[in-house]
Chains A and B, each alone.
Chain A
Amino acid sequence: NAGVTQTPKFQVLKTGQSMTLQCAQDMNHNSMYWYRQDPGMGLRLIYYSASEGTTDKGEVPNGYNVSRLNKREFSLRLESAAPSQTSVYFCASSEFRGGGSHEQFFGPGTRLTVL
């Protein structure tokens, strides 16, 4: 069981370049998420997918697009990278547990620098 995997681990882009961050989970979870983590800001939700075939905006969606390719995979695309998108990006997956909460399982993160 690999859990949640993310590629790449590190990436450096120039302003205006595009790239896709890949995420896959092997826990058969319905829900998947993309977050960004910046110093002093905690984790902020970019987009999420409650189930295969659906996606919704989170708190900070501008400049990003997502694709829920199938139940396992959820990708995040930066069409035209900007320095403000320099951050650590985390993918997560979850399944609703009785008792009112989703326990989220996180990948190891992608460290992105935009010059």
Chain B
Amino acid sequence: TQLLEQSPQFLSIQEGENLTVYCNSSSVFSSLQWYRQEPGEGPVLLVTVVTGGEVKKLKRLTFQFGDARKDSSLHITAAQPGDTGLYLCAGSTETGANNLFFGTGTRLTVIP
């Protein structure tokens, strides 16, 4: 059973377009993280959100945690080829818990 479902699974867009990736669950999370993974490497943390309704911005990336802390979204404005990669959401069900549950991933390709 996958706790976190991401959509879409694959996304191919032209440089300059905007996009949104979704991470959904029926479970409540104490915190949610977004990672980006490039081919041949391990995931790298982009952001952590901990409060329902929280919005965080990282340059052209905007992350939102749902009010009920069951879902999250990642919006990229004016995508660039350097944004290409696998985006993974990961949630923790207990504050301070070691276990992270990872989503299924969204593979983004930005075409120059």
Residue in A33, A40, A99, A100 whose CB lies within 8 Å of B104: A40
Which residues in A have their C-beta under 8 angstroms from that of B90? 43, 104
Complex Cα distance A35/B97, Å? 16
From 83 to 100 in chain A, residues with beta carbon under 8 angstroms from any chain B beta carbon are 90, 92, 94, 96-97, 99-100
Q: Which of B11-19, B38-46, B56-64, B77-85 contacts A (4 or more CB under 8 A)?
A: B38-46
Q: What is the 8 Å Cβ interface bit string for chain A, positions 13-44, against chain B (1 contact, 0 not)?
A: 00000000000000000010101000011111
Interface SS, A side: strand
Interface SS, B side: loop
Interface size class of B (residues with CB under 8 A): 20 to 34
Q: What is the 8 Å Cβ interface bit string for chain B, positions 26-58, against chain A (1 contact, 0 not)?
A: 000011010000001111110010100000000
Which residues in B have their C-beta under 8 angstroms from that of A63? none
For A56, give the chain B residue with the smallest CB separation. Answer: B98
For A43, give the chain B residue with the smallest CB separation. Answer: B102
A58 CB, nearest partner CB in chain B, Å: 7
Given contact pairs A99-B48, A108-B41, A108-B42, A41 touches B104 in the complex (Cβ within 8 A): yes
A86 CB, nearest partner CB in chain B, Å: 17
**CB within 8 Å of A: which residues of B?**
2, 4, 6, 9, 30-31, 33, 40-45, 48, 50, 88, 90, 92, 95-100, 102-105
**CB within 8 Å of B: which residues of A?**
4, 31, 33, 35, 40-45, 48, 50, 56, 58, 90, 92, 94, 96-97, 99-109
